[in-house]
A and B are shown apart, each in its own frame.
Chain A
């Protein structure tokens, strides 16, 4: 009996079943996933840089330990995601090459600098908060390995957001200068964080397919709205002001009206013109180059092990 693979694929999506690596899938579904998952992985890896910037200058031993653990988690998240992408038939080397040559994208948020310790707090609170909102949705993504990676990542991310908020709490209830520092960080990170959810639905080129294939379950604007609704009360508790004069509760939609981020800036950062794009790529390339001998040694060791096994 002839199996209609496309129908089988569609029926699985309709039943909310997962698609697994060996299942038949449309070529564009595979391509879309490779792009999305590898970009997600790159974001985790590049995301280690702005926070890593503060490890040596963390204000206490406790905060240093916490930050180290968080940055290590981000590295782990990158690894989960790289293997999820590899299950679709792309190699790690190809993905790394795309990142290092600037061919692949990663989240635009990591092209902004972390200027003060408060930025580490703001990144945890806002950036990880936004990432969690996106990743909670992706736990129900139709591709099995991606979904499973998200379940593990979400378990670990909530510590990240809480540690960020803890830093903000200490600063906001500290001296006037510390509170100013916290406010300054919020001012600089608010709009770049809103950009993390991607362009508005009306001009999002990849959303339609992603929703059709249940790779994503909600739109960019829906997630952005939920993030704003959730974050306002957290800022209020800190006594900090979200830098948006239009921010106002709208009873009819049971959510806040808010100002859009500057989408021209968003596009420009994605094109490579953000404050830190060059620095981030240089840092990744430097690390990759300096790790060359480790990879070579590991490969030589692996080969030797194999040979001695054959001989035995």
Chain B
């Protein structure tokens, strides 16, 4: 709850063109325009970014910390997904 504050939004900032959007915090706002304006005022007062995303917190689906182990386990035994798994013969140059 927080009736007088409006719903919660998550804020993502892109520092420079071409870079990924990084989560930087959250804020309350009553609609998307207000969320975007508040995000600008709150998170980019010092040129921290050149592009912003605001996303309703309720729209975010997150993995649960409790089943962190089992959820990510399938990746542990697939070492062949890493380039270091393979041997490259001498003399073929950089690969």
Contacts and interface: CB of A to CB of B under 8 A. Distances in A.
Interface stretch (A216-224, A237-245, A266-274, A296-304): A296-304
Residue among A73, A295, A298 with the most chain B CB within 10 A? A298
A170 interface: no
A116 interface: no
A119 B7 CA distance: 39
A172 interface: no
Contacts of B41: 76
Majority secondary structure, A binding face = helix
Contacts of A23: 65
Nearest to A12: B65
Given A22-B62, A298-B6, A152 B25 contact: yes
A91 B64 contact: no
Nearest to A76: B42
Given A148-B25, A149-B25, A305-B30, A92 B5 contact: yes
A76 B45 contact: yes
Contacts of B27: 79, 83
Interface centre among A22, A69, A83, A149, by most B CB within 10 Å? A83
Given A91-B2, A295-B4, A299-B4, A3 B66 contact: yes
B90 interface: no
Interface string A18-29: 001011100000
A86 B8 contact: yes
Interface in B1-15: 1-8
A301 B45 contact: no
Interface in A1-31: 3, 20, 22-24
A33 to B, nearest CB: 17
A72 B5 CA distance: 19
Given A79-B42, A83-B26, A299 B62 contact: no
A69 B45 CA distance: 9
A80 interface: yes
A301 B28 contact: no
Contacts of A295: 4
Interface string B4-42: 111110000000000000001111101100100000011
A156 interface: yes
Contacts of A83: 8, 25-28
A169 B34 CA distance: 41
A93 interface: yes
B46 interface: yes
Contact of A93 (B4, B8, B31): B4
A92 B4 CA distance: 9
Contacts of A148: 25
A302 B41 CA distance: 20
A23 B67 CA distance: 11
A24 B67 CA distance: 12
Contacts of A73: 45
A86 B30 contact: no
Contacts of A72: 45
A299 B3 contact: yes
Contact of A298 (B2, B30, B46, B65): B30
Contacts of B7: 302
Interface of B: 1-8, 24-28, 30-31, 34, 41-42, 45-46, 62, 64-66
Given A22-B65, A72-B45, A149-B25, 6 more contacts: A86-B2, A86-B8, A92-B2, A92-B4, A301-B30, A302-B30
9 contacts: A20-B65, A22-B65, A72-B45, A83-B25, A91-B2, A91-B5, A152-B24, A156-B45, A305-B31
